[in-house]
Structures are given as C-alpha cells and as structure tokens.
Amino acid sequence: MSMENAAWNSLWRMSGQEKGKAYAPTTPRRVLAFAGVYKKQLLVFVFFSVCAAVLTVITPVLAGRVVDAIVAGQDASVILKIAVMIGVVAIFSAVFALIVRWFSSRLGEGIIFDLRTSVFDHVQKMPVAFFTRTRTGALVSRLNNDVIGAQAAFAGTLSGLVSNVVALVLTAGVMFSTSWQVTLAALVLLPIFLFPARRFGRTLAHLRREAADHNAAMGTQMTERFSAPGATLIKLFGRPAEESRQFAMRAGRVRDIGVKMTMRQFFFVTMLTLVAALALALVYGLGGLYATRGELAAGDVVVLGMLLVQLYSPLTALANARVEITSALVSFDRVFEILDLDPLIKDAPDARILEPGPVGVKFKGVSFAYPSADKVSLASLEDVAVLDTRGGETVLHDIGFEIPAGTTVALVGSSGAGKSTIASLLSRLYDVDSGSVELAGTDIRELKLDSLRSTVSMVTQDGHLFHETIRANLNLANPEAEDAEIWQALERARLKETILALPDGLDTVVGERGYRLSGGERQRMTIARLLLAAPQVVILDEATAALDSSNEAAVQAALAEALASRTALVIAHRLSTIRSADQILVVEGGRIVERGTHTELLAAHGRYAELHETQFAQ
C-alpha cells in the first residue's frame, strides 16, 4: 500500500465516524451471543486475516535480501530463489485475500440477513398501535442503515482490528530489530500524521452528517410527495413551485458540501502524503548514512523504507478502532431496541386451536383503553424526546352482547362511539383490559393466532390494497386459491367484468394502495378477498361505504350470499344496509345504549330512531 493510499484509507475511516452515542452495557455481550451461530466461520476468518497480515511483512524483508545479495555479489541462483519466494508469497497473499474477502462477505451478508429477518418478523408481531405511532421511514432505516452499520463490526472492523494489530506488531518488531535508531526517528513524525487526521476527520464527519441530514430530508420529501395521495394534495393546493424551491435549497446545500468536502479531502491527503514522504526521506537519509558507515546493510535500508509505508496505516486504524467499534455497537443497540419491544398480542404458552363446529361470538363485560405510547413504541421512532407514559382514556365501558352462530349483529352510532374498536377486539388487533371476547365459548386469548385469523376475517372501510397484481392481492386471503376460485369470488363481488376488461386481467398491477382502481372497485376487491378467505366469522366495517347506489345493491346481494350461515358483525353508517340484521346495537360514548331489531328500535323512539330520521328525513 502506498503512502497516499494509506492517507486516503485513514481519511475514509475517520470521516465516516459518527458522534459517539451511548449504548446499553449488555450490547457487546448480546452481539457476541447473536454472532455465536457464526463462531466457526469467525475463527477461520480471523486465522486467514492473520496469515494475510504476516505475508505483508515478509515481502519487504525478502526484497531487502535481494538488495543484499546484489551488493554482496552472490550467485544469481540465490537472487532467483529469493525472487521465486517473493512470487510465492504474492500468490499466497492473493489467495488469502480472496479467502478473507469471501468470509468477510459471507459473515457480513449473513449478519444482515439474520438481523433484517429478525427485525422484520418481530415488527410483524407488533400491535396496530405500534404502527399508528411510528414513523415508517425511521422504522425502515433500522432495517437498512443500522443493520448495515452493525455489519461493519464483522465485515470490516473485526478483520481490520485483527490484521492491523498483527501487522503493527510484526512490522514494528522487524523495523526495531533491523535498526532501532532509524525506527525511532521515523516514529517522531507520527504525531504530525495522527493529529491532523483526527482534526480533519472530525470536520469531515460533521459535513457528512449534515449532508446525510439533507439527503434524508430530500428522501422523505420525495417519498411523501411522489405517492399518489401526496402528489394529488400538492397539485390541489398549487404548491409545486414551493416544493421545488425547498428541494432545490436542500440539493444546493448538498452540492456545496460536496465541493467543500472534495477540496478538504484533497488538501488533507496531500498533506498526509507529504508527511509520509518526509518520514520516508528520513528513513532513507539516516539509513543510508548508517549504510555508508557500514553500520547497516543496504538491503536493510530498503526493508525499513518499505515497512514504514505499512506502519502508518495500521497505527492510524488502531488509533480509531475504539470509535469504529463504538459506532458499530450503537448500530447494534438501535437494532436491539426494536427486538426488545414486547409484542402485546402473542400466543399464550398453552394456546390451542378452535375446535370444529358452529362459532358464536360473545362479549362479556368488556372495557378497553388504547395502550400508552411507552408500551408500544420508541421515542426515536416517533421523533420525540420522551414517550408519553400516561395510560389511554377508556373508550369502551362494560360492553356485553352475543352473536349466536349463523346470525348477524349490526353496530350503529356516531363517529368515534367505539364501533371499530369493538371490531378490533374481536379480530384481536388489541386485547381487552377487562372482561373477555369469546368464540364458541373460548376466550380468544386462549386461541392460537393462526387459528383465530383463519376463523375471523375483516373487511375494513379503507379497502387497502398492496402495490401488486390483482391475483397477489386476492391470494393474500387464500394462497392456494386457483384462478377459477378467484374469478368466482370476483363474480360474486360484482367485479369480474371489470377485471376481464383490463389488458392484463388478474396480472394487472393495482398501484400504490390500489390507486389504479376506483374507490368502489377497491372496496369490492376487499370483499372478493373476504369471499376467498371463507371465514366462519365475518366483520364488515363500513364495507359498502365507497360504493354508489347501484353497486351497493349488487354487493349487498353478494354479501348476503357470502354471509349466509356465517356469524357476522356489521358496522354501518348507512342504516339502510343493516335493516335485516338479527340484532342492532346502538353504541354511544363507548357504551351500548340500545339494542333490538330495526322495527323494535324505531318503535322505541330512541337514539336509533333519531339517526334513522336524520338519514331519511328527505
């Protein structure tokens, strides 16, 4: 490695350092435990790293022996033998470098895979409250930036630490054994090499962080503004010019920082290369003087010069190893923060599957308050200093009702009365604070989540679809469904003709959140998804809210067919859609204030009659 390359490597390591952050005292131990599965690979990796470091010292020594042989006028065969040895060392160096790179890649990518899959799987277990509070970008950053930062501890820092320690010890040992006087003189210039490196490194780190902040802000702006809803909002309020101005301001600052960093880096590397060259001149000058006096062999001067190049790089790397390791541990700590969040909804140790047979629903004295922030989130994911530890306000009070198997119960009431919360408790998106929710006489907290999900299915009012094909969106409910079953579900949802008219049919990509389909088509897609799932218990949360009158009548007919012989909980704002329900519950302020059939509630002249009169007054 040349002096200039050593300077660039030193600069790269230093400029990438982040400001030191605290991490949990248990993090190093957890890292070692987490990497335990790679123990054998790590040992082999370290072994070949040491071998590669040893070979870097052998080559300069052999080169010095060549010079000594020439000066001494030895036989050409001796020189040839040494040259062959240099060639063999070079071959082994290349082989060891390939092996080290392969293990480095395997370890790094393996750690990335394990961390990402662990975090992804864990996040999927988190309650809905976690996602309602968390910034999606911050969560994705943990899966990308922090995981990659953690990888550096294995792929870069670990191998660098081992090889640099070995290279430093061997290089210094050989140099001191060759000429301690010349070695000490060369090391006098070491502070001139290290101190500017630290000062420039801190400056460049600050600039890198500022550029990263601006790039992150631009990324957030693009993510939000380039989505279908975001782009629509900007156009509706006539803000493209202002958005462009803000983006250009950030991009301009990144440009200016880039120019400043380039010039400072060039100046820094030039100065370090100059210092290294002066040290090399000192070695050759002082070493040459000793050689002319017969106190040092000519080959030893060459050895000292070549080893000096290799001495500065590991010294600089080791001087900054603590910061590099700390940075990696911070990345691990941020990943562990996610893994340490305890999912509120999980299988009980003795959870069981629901026995076959008719399934009725029963709410018994249910009260519920949404969990406080400290139970479901992290301050860093919400971009706040401290999470709110106060408990949520109770939104459901002593809710009790029963849905016999095969019957339909409807929930009506004002917005915010607690209807959707009741539905969320039945599907166990949240757990009750007191009381119980039962399926076929069994508390749903005693059931396996997989069994519950296959028994209870829900159609929400937003009709959310993924940016995938129609087939993929529908297969979410039934991965084994054949195309014939999918077409049948689409037909029953009154959507078959629409999909047939599309150029790619079932392979049509619906776009982000399904925005390539109309609101009514998206809602009917979710109904088709429900029909494919064929659950025993169905929850409809404003399932026909986005449909016009003609489509609503058609889908209501399809739903009536789909709900036949199934237990159903229907939330509706349009009272016309739930007249035929077996029982209607009126929810206000988190309490059931009325219950009965459509006819009975109208005759009672209560809240239901008031809602009905308001809707049908005209």
pLDDT for 398 equals: 93
Give me the CATH number covering residue 455: 3.40.50.300
Range of the domain at 133: 3-339
Q: Is residue 120 part of a domain?
A: yes
Query: Same structural domain for residues 318 and 367?
Result: no
- Phi, psi (rounded to 5 degrees) for 21: -130, 150
Asked which of 90-99, 224-233, 388-397 is least confident by mean pLDDT, the reply is 224-233
CB 409 within 8 Å of CB 401: yes
Q: How far apart are CA 27 and CA 457, in angstroms?
A: 41
pLDDT in tens, 275-323: 767 777 777 777 777 777 777 777 777 777 777 777 766 766 665 565 5
Q: What is the mean pLDDT of the chain?
A: 78
Q: Is residue 405 part of a domain?
A: yes
Query: Same structural domain for residues 190 and 143?
Result: yes
Query: Same structural domain for residues 316 and 368?
Result: no
Query: Same structural domain for residues 324 and 371?
Result: no
pLDDT for 366 equals: 94
Query: Same structural domain for residues 219 and 278?
Result: yes
Q: Is residue 121 part of a domain?
A: yes
Domain count, the chain: 2
Q: How far apart are CA 145 and CA 137, in angstroms?
A: 11
Q: pLDDT at residue 21 above 70?
A: no
**Rounded average pLDDT over 433-462:** 89
Could you tell me which residue, 100 or 327, shows the higher pLDDT?
A: 100
Strands 361-369, 537-541: pairing kind: unpaired
Q: pLDDT at residue 425 above 90?
A: yes
Asked which of 24-33, 416-425, 481-490, 519-528 is least confident by mean pLDDT, the reply is 24-33
- pLDDT-derived band at 422, boundaries 50, 70, 90: very high
Q: Mark 164-200 as b/e (b = at least 16 C-beta within 10 Å).
A: bbbbbebbbebbeebbeebbebbbebbebbbeebbeb
pLDDT for 361 equals: 94
Strands 583-588, 408-412: pairing kind: parallel
Q: Is residue 109 part of a domain?
A: yes
Q: How far apart are CA 13 and CA 265, in angstroms?
A: 12
- pLDDT-derived band at 19, boundaries 50, 70, 90: very low
**Rounded average pLDDT over 237-251:** 80
Single out the residue of 19, 64, 51, 329 nearest to residue 174, CA to CA.
Answer: 64
Query: Same structural domain for residues 44 and 141?
Result: yes
Asked which of 378-387, 436-445, 478-487, 506-515 is least confident by mean pLDDT, the reply is 378-387
- Other C-beta atoms closer than 10 Å to the C-beta of 534 total 16
Query: Same structural domain for residues 227 and 280?
Result: yes
pLDDT in tens, 501-532: 888 888 888 877 777 787 778 878 888 888 88
CA 578 from chain centre, in angstroms, equals 43
Percent pLDDT > 90 in the chain is: 12
Asked which of 66-70, 164-168, 373-377 is least confident by mean pLDDT, the reply is 66-70
Query: Same structural domain for residues 255 and 135?
Result: yes
Q: Is residue 351 part of a domain?
A: no
Q: Which of 300-309, 383-392, 465-474 has the highest mean pLDDT?
A: 465-474
Query: Same structural domain for residues 107 and 245?
Result: yes
Query: Same structural domain for residues 334 and 282?
Result: yes
Q: Is residue 383 part of a domain?
A: no
pLDDT for 108 equals: 74
Q: pLDDT at residue 16 above 60?
A: no
**Rounded average pLDDT over 371-398:** 74
The helix/strand count (H/E) of the chain reads as 25, 10
Percent pLDDT > 70 in the chain is: 78
Q: Is residue 385 part of a domain?
A: no
CA dihedral 22, 25, 26, 27 (to 10 degrees): 30
Q: How far apart are CA 174 and CA 311, in angstroms?
A: 11
SS3 341: coil
- pLDDT-derived band at 155, boundaries 50, 70, 90: low
Asked which of 141-145, 190-194, 213-217 is least confident by mean pLDDT, the reply is 190-194
Q: Is residue 244 part of a domain?
A: yes
Single out the residue of 440, 429, 459, 474 nearest to residue 569, CA to CA.
Answer: 459
pLDDT in tens, 54-84: 887 787 777 777 776 776 677 777 778 878 8
Q: pLDDT at residue 497 above 80?
A: yes
Q: Mark 40-53 as b/e (b = at least 16 C-beta within 10 Å).
A: eebeebbebbbbbb
Could you tell me which residue, 19 or 560, shows the higher pLDDT?
A: 560
Query: Same structural domain for residues 506 and 545?
Result: yes
pLDDT for 50 equals: 81
Could you tell me which residue, 91 or 11, shows the higher pLDDT?
A: 91
pLDDT in tens, 171-200: 777 777 777 777 777 777 666 656 655 566
Q: How far apart are CA 154 and CA 443, in angstroms?
A: 47
Burial of 535 (C-beta count, 10 Å sphere; 0-12/13-18/19+):
buried
Give me the CATH number covering residue 319: 1.20.1560.10
Q: How far apart are CA 180 and CA 460, in angstroms?
A: 79
- pLDDT-derived band at 147, boundaries 50, 70, 90: confident
pLDDT for 594 equals: 92
CB 399 within 8 Å of CB 363: yes
pLDDT for 390 equals: 61
Query: Same structural domain for residues 565 and 606?
Result: yes
Single out the residue of 109, 100, 111, 14 nearest to residue 54, CA to CA.
Answer: 100
- pLDDT-derived band at 593, boundaries 50, 70, 90: very high
